[in-house]
A and B are shown apart, each in its own frame.
Chain A
Amino acid sequence: MNSSLARVFLSSLLQRRLATALSLLAIALGVALGLAVQLIHGAALDEFGRGVRLLAGEADLQVIGPNDGFDEALYFSLAQRAEVAEASPLLELDARLPELGANLRIIGVDLFRVVRVQPMLVPVATGEGARMAALQADSVFLSDPAREALLAGEDADTAPGRAALSTGRLVVQSGLDLHVLQLAGKVPGAGQRLAVMDIAAAQQLFERLGRLTRIDLRLAAGVSARSAMDGLSPLLPAGVVLRVPEGAEAEAGALSRAYRVNMTMLAAIALLTGGFLVFSTQLLSVARRRREFALMRALGLTRGELMRGLLFEGGAVGLIGGVVGVALGHALAGLAFRLVGGDLGAGFFQGVQPALHFDPVLAGGYALLGGFAGLVGTWLPAREAARVAPARALRAGDSERGGLLRARSRTVGALLALVLAAALCLLPPVAGIALGGYLAVALILAAAVMALPDLSRTTLAIVGPGGRARSVVVRLAHARLAAAPGQAVVAGAGVLASVALASAMAIMVSSFRVSVDDWLAQVLPADLYVRASSSSASGYLDPAAVERIRAVRGVASIDVVRAIKLRLGPEQPVLTLLARPVEGGWGLPLVAGSQQRPALPGTPPAWISEAVADLQGIGPGGTLELPLAGQSRRFVVAGVWRDYARQHGAVVIEREDYVALSGDERVNDVAIRLAPGHASDEVADALRKAFGAQRLEIAQPGEIRAISLEIFDRTFLITYLMEAVAVAIGLFGVATTFAALATTRKGEFGMLRHLGLTRSDIGRVLALEGALTAGLGVLAGLLAGGAIAWVLIEVINRQSFHWSMDLSVPVLALGVFSAALIGLAAMMARLAGARAMRRSAVLAVKEDW
């Protein structure tokens, strides 16, 4: 196509500025949301990966174990191996800072080894006696980001802690004891929030004598990581694994991948809605420009050139929308970093401070995606335009009769799409991503759009009295929709897509929230909860402390929990092991099996969460090997329980089995049941008095529930925003469709005015048509939304997060939302038609174009 002809098509876009601008905006929003999600997670992952690489320094391999640690004898045997040039032992802990109400990652390092393997962790002393400071037992070195973060709070309770920190004093908790450390300097190489101290001092301080959590290895020249792993793996005790440092990066990526894909899919649906909008505006524009195209064809434009010209129009709108979207996406990502952090509030990358980078390939890709959406949206209308018979279209009196506006029945296609969607739901996940589920969602949407003409006919037949109503306004609106069901398709498709998305998300989120709430009530049956620290490593309660709690006045009975993190293999995510009384203890939210100890002598029982059941492919009666105290122990699965707290799985075992196998009698959490006549506040005060105010975290179930639900709502905030965007795009669709239709119907309106209808009568006709069209879109959208919600709950969430939930439909909220949308659509339709109605009736009937 030459540039002059391109101008003919482009000038048509300028002619209908409003519709073009709205289509462009819709695509821009879809692109922006998708790109923002990608940018935010990409930046957070990059930053996390950079941190991992920096901290690993020159290490070729890392030995990692449970957060409880492993025997340091392993270090001595590895250091002597020929494959290993240097080995650097580390003890990593999340330490509680009671005065500051925060946790800090403390890394104990061997100062002579760390220089050769992880130079970024080398502490630099400042002040007097600097030379020997690093070797002193009470010296700690703080990275700049950690210092900034700790000093940043404004809470009055932590003000003394901040004052102490600025004078060089840091109080850490170990067990229930507090220790004062001296700030001896900085860790200039570390860009993360952490502190470094001498490993021997850390072992002593946190009562981990002889324990390590990590060993970084630099391999001898000529030894590959693969061959070293083969040679060294047999030396490792159970639960301790070897991996390349990049493994941590991949693990973080995998951890947030399902969440990221979910978000990207939401953005894709917003983009799809934008594509629908391009489709409806192009379709109407094609219907309106029928004679223009017929003329061009009569003048010698080929069908192919006409189709290419229209695709060029759609592609141009899409591409410009894509470019605007890329700019908007960067702005959104920047805003999100400032407001909710690098994980969109989901809590995957705590302590990571990502920065936004411009990636030309990514930006170009997303801009092209916008162009693609424009092309796809234009494809059918362009094909329709190219099929127009010029001789008929040029005949005087031939009005807009676009083929798609006639809307053929496609119910068979819709049914086929639904059958295919059902089949796709049965597919297993691909690399942890519920691909079949996402495709099923797209097919359900397509089926709903295809079924819209027949749904429109059936609904209008059911509400048939409209056609015989006394009011001419009702009769006209009814007749128009009955004669042109395609209008419902074109205007309703955008509403349908956005309502389907919004209602599906609303049903899913409501089901999830109700299930989480029920689950919290079930897992928090006690009156009061006590723990030494929110991190299970540095804070714990020993048997003596547990007995002291039991003896506090008002305590009727207690249940204790020990929580440790461990790995089943190098490629496996971190699993939480919870040791607590099960049989006779408080209830587990079981979905399969029972709480009874199975009759299998010699093999203790374990109750696994749904994630473990899915990831390991086991169920009740199966067996599970768990590494405890350096040895692999076999457990028989007695039941499967629902756990919304740990996405990568948790295993519950009887505490007495755990103590017998590991010898570890420490506990992390204590659940207290109160004696009759005692209030929880009174017992909490007594506990604080007995142990010291800052050493115990005491919470009532109501507080934990409120905090949990607050985190839940924050996580879903971004999805509410995306829904709002999709709904706005759907309303744009109604506005542009009615604006375009009103323009093509100027003659009709003029004629009606000649017949005696007032302007406001015509306005009411338009409003009623808008309401009916949106009503049909809402109806189909709710049906599709229900089906999509089922796929989200039973397929996508099960496969991505391994969470089951009970269905809960927010009927009232959906009803209010639907009514508001229909009202808004009626208003939009009336406003959109107002311009066409302002024209002189005499001119309107005489006008040819």
Chain B
Amino acid sequence: MLRVDALCKILPGTPPRTLFRDLSLQVAAGECVAIMGESGSGKSTLLNCVAGLEPVDGGRIRVADDDITGVDDDSLSQLRRRRFGFVFQAFHVLPHLSLRQNVALPLWLLDFEPREADERAEAMLERVGLGERAGDAPHTLSGGELQRVAIARALVHRPALLLADEPTGNLDPGRATAVLDLLLEQGREAGAASVLVTHSQVAARRADRVFELGTEGLIDISGRA
């Protein structure tokens, strides 16, 4: 589902710093891959490159059948709204929308009928255990609940690729486990290829494969993690 070949990213500056080069990765539908590494190693940047939010300095990225390198900004936006789902460390749930509306946001971008969008958003909230609170405002929720809303929003439009950047970084260990289980379960159920960036060994262990990011690319550490 995701195929990255010989990716290269150099950060500008004097002198320029090579974040990674010759990086390759393949993730199949329904598979979850975790990427670990030290702070500043470029994990989030890799995720942003895959999402087409940051330019790359070489290599190719294909999502499903679409090549996202060398595509203009508007086409990338179109691609993201169809193929991608995101979960962030800081939740990023819009404060002025209800939970239902937050989850329906990707469907609105895909021009779904408002009623259908609402129904699908409610069904998704039901699956993450927040069905009863669809009409509530975000400020009434705890951190774990907010991340569940974010997961529902990431998957409501059945994306091909789910990108999660430290999804449990702001949660206590108990909640983190529950949220992670939900994320992986829902991702697999939706048949999405998932890429999870994390510091947490516990989180990484739940992935199908685990990589460590270094300047020379990704090293498979599945056995050691």
Contacts and interface: CB of A to CB of B under 8 A. Distances in A.
Nearest to A295: B92
Most buried by A among B80, B91, B101: B80
B77 A300 contact: yes
A299 B109 contact: yes
B114 A394 contact: no
Contacts of A292: 92, 94
B223 interface: no
A300 B111 contact: no
Given A15-B95, A299-B106, A394-B88, 13 more contacts: A2-B108, A3-B114, A5-B108, A295-B86, A295-B94, A299-B109, A300-B82, A302-B74, A303-B74, A303-B77, A394-B90, A394-B92, A396-B169
A149 interface: no
A301 interface: yes
A298 B86 contact: yes
A11 B77 contact: no
Contacts of B169: 396
A132 B74 CA distance: 90
B96 A4 contact: no
B44 A300 contact: no
B114 A297 contact: no
Contacts of B88: 295, 394
Contacts of B80: 298-300
A400 to B, nearest CB: 15
B5 interface: no
Interface in A1-31: 2-5, 7-8, 11-12, 14-15
Nearest to A394: B88
B81 interface: yes
B96 A848 contact: no
A301 B44 contact: no
Contacts of A303: 73-74, 77
Nearest to A4: B108
A291 interface: yes
Interface string A290-323: 0110011111111111000000000000000000
Interface string B101-135: 10011101101101001000000000000000000
Interface stretch (B18-26, B29-37, B48-56, B195-203): B48-56
Contacts, number: 90
24 contacts: A4-B104, A4-B108, A4-B112, A4-B117, A5-B108, A7-B101, A292-B94, A296-B105, A297-B53, A298-B80, A299-B84, A299-B106, A300-B77, A300-B82, A301-B77, A303-B73, A303-B77, A391-B44, A395-B44, A396-B90, A848-B90, A848-B91, A849-B92, A849-B95
Contacts of B48: 391
A302 B73 contact: yes
A295 to B, nearest CB: 5
Interface in A208-249: none
A302 B74 CA distance: 5
Contacts of A299: 80-81, 84, 86, 105-106, 109
B89 interface: yes
Nearest to B146: A848
Contacts of A301: 77, 81, 109
A848 B92 CA distance: 8
Contacts of A3: 114
B141 interface: no
Interface in B62-98: 73-74, 77-82, 84, 86, 88-97
Which size class do B's interface residues fall under?
A: 35 or more
Most buried by B among A291, A296, A848: A848
B19 to A, nearest CB: 13
Contacts of A51: none
Chain A contact surface mostly = helix
Interface in B140-177: 169-170
Nearest to A12: B96
Most buried by A among B74, B95, B112: B95
A390 interface: yes
Closest 10 pairs between A and B when the two form their complex, measured CB to CB: A300-B81, A4-B108, A15-B96, A300-B80, A391-B48, A302-B77, A391-B53, A302-B74, A295-B92, A848-B90
A396 B109 CA distance: 25
A557 B84 CA distance: 100
A300 B96 contact: no
A779 B138 CA distance: 44
Contacts of A390: 53
A59 B224 CA distance: 107
Interface in A244-295: 291-292, 295
B77 A297 contact: yes
Contacts of A396: 89-90, 169
Nearest to B79: A300
A304 B80 CA distance: 15
Contacts of A7: 101
A291 B108 contact: no
B149 to A, nearest CB: 13
A849 B54 CA distance: 24
Most buried by B among A5, A299, A396: A299
Contacts of B77: 297, 300-303, 305
A15 B101 CA distance: 15
Nearest to A297: B77
Contact of B109 (A11, A300, A389): A300
A8 B92 contact: no
B92 to A, nearest CB: 5
Contacts of A2: 108, 111
Contacts of A389: 53-54
A645 to B, nearest CB: 61
Contacts of B51: 298, 391
Contacts of A15: 95-96
Contacts of A395: 44
B109 A14 contact: no
B84 A300 contact: yes
Contacts of B84: 298-300
Contacts of B79: 300
Interface string B36-52: 00000000110010010
Contacts of B104: 4
Interface string B2-13: 000000000000
A14 B96 contact: yes
Contacts of A394: 88, 90, 92
Contacts of B105: 8, 296, 299
A12 B94 CA distance: 10
A35 B135 CA distance: 43
A501 to B, nearest CB: 35
A849 B96 CA distance: 11
A396 B165 CA distance: 11
Contacts of B114: 3-4
Nearest to B91: A848
A5 B110 CA distance: 10
B97 A11 contact: yes
Contacts of A4: 104, 108, 112, 114, 117
Nearest to B45: A391
B85 to A, nearest CB: 9
B47 to A, nearest CB: 9
A303 B80 CA distance: 13
A70 B144 CA distance: 97
Contacts of B89: 396
Contacts of B170: 848
A832 B44 CA distance: 38
A12 B96 CA distance: 6
A14 B94 CA distance: 14
Nearest to A849: B95
Contacts of B74: 302-304
Most buried by B among A14, A296, A301, A391: A391
Interface in A668-714: none
A292 B92 CA distance: 7
A291 B94 CA distance: 9
Most buried by B among A7, A389, A394: A394
